[in-house]
Amino acid sequence: MKKLLPFVLACLVASVFVFAEGAKETAAPQIDLKTATWDQIVQAAKAEGQVTFYAWYFPDYFKEASMDFEKQYGIKVNLVIGDQTANFNKAIAEKGNAVGTIDCMIVGGQWVKTTMDLDLFWGPVNKIMPDADKLAPTLWVVQEGVMTKGYLTPFHRNQTGILYDPDRVTNPPQTWEELTAWIDANPKKFGFNDPSKGGSGQSFVHTLIAYTTGGLKQYEGDSDLVQTKVANWDLAWKWVNDRKDNLTFTASNNDSITRLNDGELAMTVAWDDNVKDMMTKGNLFKRAKMYIPKMGLAGGGDTMGVLKNAPDKAAALLFINHITSKEQQVKKFQMLNAYPARVDIPIEGTLLTEEDRKTNAIPWFPAPYKSHMIAEFVKNVLMK
Amino acid sequence: MRRFYLLLTAFFVIVQLVWIGVPIMMAVLWSLVDPQYPWSFPHLFPQRLAPAPWIYVFKYTNIIKALKTSYSIAPFAVALSFLISLPTAYVLGRKNIPGKKLFNLVVLLPIIMPGMVVALFLSRVFTAFRLSQTFIGLVLAHTLMGLPYMLRVLTTSFQTIPQDVIDAAENLGAGTFVKIKDIFLPMVRPGLLAGMIFAFTTSIEEFNLTFIIGTPTFETIPTILFSFMGYNFIRTNAAVVALVMMTPNIVMLFIVERFLKSDYLSASLGKM
């Protein structure tokens, strides 16, 4: 027995190393991707033979797009539809590894700032992607108030707006004063999510700050937070705290939509792509209507980034190019009604009108203010 | 008085049925909502049922592969938890060793700390030992998460064994092997089965470590479920994945329940 035990333990330890695969490292491209021609990148991608892509929404579209990619290029796609937070945590956990397991991923929400600050992505890629000039120009430069310096490729645009049940809201508010009056007259029927849990809530608080503290112009161009400019933000928190009993705070972007569908809310703030997706899947009544009020709500879009330690960088670039191609952007719009990042595609039949987007959509204030806004909302409203 | 007890029993049975039955029924109904006829206010029930959410989940996710992976890892994780826990639980339950209380607390750390925090720190260790993206790595990770449950339940089981029974066996000449076979193992069997259930369900539901060290090579059911339950909550699809995940666990619980019914003391004395 005494001799057997060390033998068994030795076998177990040995088996760990025998069966261990570790991170799969494919043949690294022998070319400099930043100076190579697009044809050379395609060849390098084919040599790599696979690409691993992480997303957290649209599993139907990405599965179909991956199959199209495999068919067109003969490159295998490892598609993982995970959770937003988990995806970024994994990428951050692997940051110290010379070779990671993720090639490219969707980037959005408050993670844009975190990941850019952590220098997680390889690039810039805006000079490499062949169709770069056809993708939303502002989203190439700034996303969620963060300067992305051409590292993140726009693939999808979305916009927040007010979503409502027309059976219960006959004259939806357009101005801040009208909205305030509606909320006071309809306690608990208007809701928005905790801004630390999703962008639609952030967009509402962003507009709240604009209307209660003197507009958004004062923050333009600031790369760091200026304390004197946020000194009067207590006016915004006072507005919320004064009508805390009349407002409903929800847990996430989709939770707001779910509560509208269940009849708890009559009006909420939501992302247009979330709304359409939930409507298509039978999670929201089809009579729901959406608009961008005249007081303005922020919009933006999501991007895709190539990880610095991606094992298959060329394949990742080719995959992103595939997703942003005209055919795929049209397919995404047809499947999900999600607004494309390409500006050369005529779009019809969206929830929000083009007119609304042109006149009422507003840009986010710089990222340091956004981070401060989220932290201060939690401190001054949710924790009080 | 008898009538009162009968009514009280009936009341609690109904409460239990509603408590457990309503969420399951809601999941079943949501999993069958026809996308063309959303289940919305003011409708109390879906207007029309269709298998569309089931078709969607099976068509667009790797759920079959994930099921196979989940149910392949769990038995190994349970077995390994048992092998590690049995001697440890014996010492903690029957022997007086210095630092016992501290050890009991340390053992619980993996389940006290937030899952993602444990996962992020452990991923470095798993990567260093080349265990990331491996089946063995996932078994070890799941064992780690199930171990606290198995160990605590087994320790309590060992503590409850009456010393008289052990003394009597020794007086009758029982050696170590006989004591393990005829006293300890039969008497800790209910605890062992309970520990197995906890370790098994913990393994089936483990998300954080699996996601960080297992994907993209391995996907388990929770890694798919979280994409529908987390940031991008889609109730119809989440209901399908939840039911897929729940069904085998319920079957297993019923099987184990049969064994748990046996009284441990009578079992130990061979009077089952």
Are the Cβ atoms of A23 and B133 closer than 8 angstroms? yes
- Give me the mean pLDDT over the A320-340 stretch: 93
Joined tokens for residue A179: 């909205």
Q: What is the pLDDT of residue B206?
A: 92
Show Cβ contacts of residue A7 under 8 Å, excluding neighbours closer than 6 positions: none
pLDDT confidence band for A15 (50 / 70 / 90): very low
Joined tokens for residue A223: 């790369």
pTM over cut 0.90 = no
Q: What is the pLDDT of residue A247?
A: 97
Q: What is the pLDDT of residue A17?
A: 46
Interface test with B, best of A21, A60, A77, A275 (most B CBs within 10 A): A21
Q: What is the pLDDT of residue B241?
A: 86
In order, the DSSP letters of B219-265 are --HHHHHHHHHSTT--HHHHHHHHHHHHHHHHHHHHHHHHHHTS-HH
Q: What is the pLDDT of residue A10?
A: 58
Residue A7 has pLDDT above 80, yes or no: no
pLDDT confidence band for A154 (50 / 70 / 90): very high
Q: What is the pLDDT of residue B233?
A: 81
Nearest to B223 among A82, A85, A286 (CB): A82
Residue A327 has pLDDT above 80, yes or no: yes
Amino acid at A62: F
Q: What is the pLDDT of residue B252?
A: 78
Domain B62-268 belongs in CATH node 1.10.3720.10: yes
A310: helix, coil or strand? Answer: coil
Per-residue pLDDT tens digits for B150-162 = 999 999 999 989 8
Q: Identify whether B190 is preceded by a cis peptide bond (ω within 30 of 0).
A: no
More confident residue, B109 or A288: A288
How many beta carbons lie within 10 A of that of residue A351, not counting itself? Answer: 20
pLDDT confidence band for B105 (50 / 70 / 90): confident
Q: What is the pLDDT of residue A23?
A: 47
- Give me the mean pLDDT over the A127-149 stretch: 93
Tell which residue, B150, B108, B143, B141, has the closest CA to residue B212: B141
Q: What is the pLDDT of residue A351?
A: 85
Taking the C-alpha atoms of residue A233 and residue A238, their distance in angstroms, rounded to an integer, is 9
Residue A269 has pLDDT above 50, yes or no: yes
Joined tokens for residue B45: 């029930």
Taking the C-alpha atoms of residue A314 and residue A39, their distance in angstroms, rounded to an integer, is 11
CA atoms within a 13 Å half-sphere pointing along the CA-CB vector of B124: 9
Q: What is the pLDDT of residue B20?
A: 86
pLDDT confidence band for A287 (50 / 70 / 90): very high
Contacts of B40 in chain A (CB under 8 A): 261-263, 284-285
What is the predicted ipTM? 0.83
Q: What is the pLDDT of residue A284?
A: 96
Residue B175 has pLDDT above 50, yes or no: yes
Are the Cβ atoms of B217 and A24 closer than 8 angstroms? yes
Are the Cβ atoms of A24 and B133 closer than 8 angstroms? yes
Taking the C-alpha atoms of residue A157 and residue A351, their distance in angstroms, rounded to an integer, is 13
Q: What is the pLDDT of residue A300?
A: 86
**Residue B231 touches partner A, C-beta closer than 8 Å:** yes
Show Cβ contacts of residue A183 under 8 Å, excluding neighbours closer than 6 positions: A189, A190, A243, A246, A247
Q: What are phi and psi of A324, to 5 degrees?
A: -95, 5
The distance of A57 to chain B (nearest Cα, Å) reads: 6
Q: What is the pLDDT of residue A6?
A: 55
Taking the C-alpha atoms of residue B194 and residue B223, their distance in angstroms, rounded to an integer, is 25
Among left, alpha and beta (phi > 0; psi -120 to 50; other), residue A243 is alpha
Q: What is the pLDDT of residue A3?
A: 54
Q: What is the pLDDT of residue A109?
A: 80
Per-residue pLDDT tens digits for B4-61 = 889 999 999 999 889 989 999 999 999 999 999 999 999 999 999 999 999 999 999 8
Q: What is the pLDDT of residue A371?
A: 92
**Residue B36 touches partner A, C-beta closer than 8 Å:** yes
pLDDT confidence band for B226 (50 / 70 / 90): confident
Amino acid at A211: Y
B153: helix, coil or strand? Answer: helix
- Give me the mean pLDDT over the B223-244 stretch: 84
Q: What is the pLDDT of residue B261?
A: 61
How many beta carbons lie within 10 A of that of residue B212, not counting itself? Answer: 26
Residue B97 has pLDDT above 90, yes or no: no
Joined tokens for residue A4: 């057997």
B73-77, B117-121, B188-192: range with highest mean pLDDT: B73-77
Are the Cβ atoms of A282 and B133 closer than 8 angstroms? no
Taking the C-alpha atoms of residue A79 and residue A66, their distance in angstroms, rounded to an integer, is 7
Taking the C-alpha atoms of residue B193 and residue B197, their distance in angstroms, rounded to an integer, is 6
- Give me the mean pLDDT over the A146-172 stretch: 95
Joined tokens for residue B78: 């349970």
Ordered domains of chain A (ranges, CATH): 28-158+301-336 (3.40.190.10), 159-299+354-382 (3.40.190.10)
The answer to whether A70 touches A121, Cβ cutoff 8 Å, is: no
Nearest to B216 among A59, A80, A97 (CB): A80
The answer to whether A295 touches A211, Cβ cutoff 8 Å, is: yes
Among left, alpha and beta (phi > 0; psi -120 to 50; other), residue A296 is left
The distance of B90 to chain A (nearest Cα, Å) reads: 19
pLDDT confidence band for A306 (50 / 70 / 90): very high
Nearest to A252 among B127, B135, B233 (CB): B233
Spans of all domains in chain B: 62-268
Q: What is the pLDDT of residue B264?
A: 52
Q: Which residues pair with A143 in a beta bridge?
A: A146
Amino acid at B250: I
Question: For the ranges A122-126, B23-27, B257-261, which has the lowest average pLDDT?
Answer: B257-261
Q: Identify whether B42 is preceded by a cis peptide bond (ω within 30 of 0).
A: yes
pLDDT confidence band for B110 (50 / 70 / 90): confident
pLDDT confidence band for A35 (50 / 70 / 90): very high
A296: helix, coil or strand? Answer: coil
pLDDT confidence band for A30 (50 / 70 / 90): confident
Question: For the ranges A131-140, A344-353, B118-127, which has the lowest average pLDDT?
Answer: A344-353
Nearest to B40 among A16, A198, A285 (CB): A285
Tell which residue, A259, A264, A257, has the closest CA to residue A279: A257
Contacts of A24 in chain B (CB under 8 A): 133, 217
Average pLDDT score, chain B: 88
3-state secondary structure A344-360: CCCCCCCCCCHHHHHHH
Show the CA angle centred on residue B221, arms to residues B108 and A75, nearest 5°: 125
Residue A19 has pLDDT above 50, yes or no: no
Quote the DSSP letter at residue A135.
Answer: B
Tell which residue, A333, A326, A365, A367, has the closest CA to residue A351: A333
Sign of the Cα torsion B110, B112, B118, B121 reads negative
Nearest to B133 among A22, A89, A252 (CB): A22
3-state secondary structure A158-176: EEEEEEECCCCCCCCCCCH
CA distances from A215 to A159, A201, A232, A364 (A): 20, 18, 12, 12
**Residue B176 touches partner A, C-beta closer than 8 Å:** no
- Give me the mean pLDDT over the B167-174 stretch: 91
Contacts of B134 in chain A (CB under 8 A): 19-22
Taking the C-alpha atoms of residue A106 and residue A153, their distance in angstroms, rounded to an integer, is 9
Taking the C-alpha atoms of residue A247 and residue A237, their distance in angstroms, rounded to an integer, is 13
